[in-house]
Amino acid sequence: MDGRLPVREEKKKRRRGRARQESERWAPDRGTHREAAEMRLERRNFRRILGLILALLLAAGNASAGSWHTLTEMEKAEKLTGLVTDYTGEIRITFLGDCTLGGEESSRNSRLGFAARIAENGMDFPFRNLTWLTKQDDLTVANLEGVLTDRKLKKVEKKYNFSGPTAYTEILTSGGIDCVTLANNHSHDYGEEGYQDTREALETAGVGWFGTDVPGVWRSDEGLMIGFAGVSWSLTGSRFHRYEAQVEALKTMGCAAVITVMHTGEEYSYEPPSPHQRQVAERAAACGSALVIGHHPHVVQGFTTVSGMPVVYSLGNCSFGGTTRAKDSDALAVQAVLCFEEGELQKTELHFHPISMTSDPKYNNYSPRLLEGEEAERVLRKMEKSTGNAPGPWSEGAGAVTVWAAAD
């Protein structure tokens, strides 16, 4: 042991300090707008009553500075949640793009494949350059694109099938990844059995997860809850009805904000939105989502605002074992800072951190690195060109920051 606290304990300690600072910062403004305060009180009391009526089954899994709960039996809830609190302060959530821990069977064990890199460098190799982000926040969410299994399962017939051993969950835990979305087009590459193996491996390792079929909740130590809903490809027909019901349930349970993570768009396109990206963003906003984060195109795409809600179309790749050579290595890590006053979301800051999906200039070595200076500015210009919206100026540590006031 090197004397440092475990990752989750470090996050808890830092967030408690931030919460105290934010409470003090917000305190002078309280009581100056009596009508607004009375309305907030009415809403809080209403949510408290709903929380008591509905209840929530807390599934297995511990997240960072708080706890993660995958709602696998939401409709059969038997255990009451903690009540929504009047939390004042910031919650920091880092989002990473496409992560494939393994790859195709034909290439992952090759000389330049993912397995060889891990065998040579260790489990902490992929995220070693990003831990100053992933271990300094409250929650880190990545897109896990592929199956984790130790069984010889039958492939689904498709062009690419990604998999890796269940031991690779250590890559996530050592890298500060607290939660993954399985709402993508590779979580079922080995059928329902592969999907179940992945879920079980994550739960055993203490890594949270959510998918199109199952939403999730992150709950702070103070009781503030943030809901997560996953979308893969579109929100058409029954997909929309399922998503709409999930978001409504998360809000009714008392989540102070719901974040939608979408996996859709045109691969290697620099001109969002695709019809499905536009559809998901518009329907997420209509359902009351506070933020949409996207991936799937494998390249950086910019951001926009839909009905007051921030939308990031594509983060690009992160630690992506699906190829040994990248067509475009530029990508993003985005840290969302959600600012609450007395349990109400007041504003959202998005910190855009340009990254390269590889730290090897010649090959993809599956270990992304942060970009700085002109390299970072180049990626930000690419973002702006794709949507016409420019993020704030880049600075070391903070990235490029854009701020949204909470929609009424």
Question: Does residue 190 belong to any structural domain of this protein?
Answer: yes
**Pairing mode, if any, of strands 344-356 and 369-370?**
antiparallel
Cα separation of 343 and 84, whole Å? 7
* Cβ partners under 8 Å of residue 126, min gap 6: 99, 101, 118, 171, 175, 319, 366, 367, 368
Cβ atoms 118, 171 nearer than 8 A: yes
pLDDT tens per residue, range 347-388: 999 999 999 999 999 999 999 999 999 999 999 999 999 999
pLDDT(27) > 70:
no
> Which pTM was predicted?
0.87
Question: Does residue 185 belong to any structural domain of this protein?
Answer: yes
Question: Does residue 1 belong to any structural domain of this protein?
Answer: no
Question: Does residue 247 belong to any structural domain of this protein?
Answer: yes
Radius of gyration of the chain (CA): 20
| Number of residues written out for the chain | 408
pLDDT(103) > 70:
yes
Question: Does residue 181 belong to any structural domain of this protein?
Answer: yes
Residue 71 has what pLDDT? 85
DSSP helix/strand/coil, 7: helix
pLDDT tens per residue, range 270-313: 999 999 999 999 999 999 999 999 999 999 999 999 999 999 99
Residue 55 has what pLDDT? 37
Residue 10 has what pLDDT? 65
Question: Does residue 2 belong to any structural domain of this protein?
Answer: no
Q: Nearest 5°: CA angle at 277, between 275 and 278?
A: 65
pLDDT(44) > 80:
no
Question: For the chain, what is the domain count?
Answer: 1
Question: Does residue 151 belong to any structural domain of this protein?
Answer: yes
DSSP class of residue 184?
A: S
How crowded is residue 20: how many other Cβ atoms within 10 Å of its Cβ?
A: 11
CATH code assigned at 295: 3.60.21.10
| Structural domain span for residue 65 | 7-405
- For residues 64-80, average pLDDT: 63
Residue 366 has what pLDDT? 98
Question: Does residue 241 belong to any structural domain of this protein?
Answer: yes
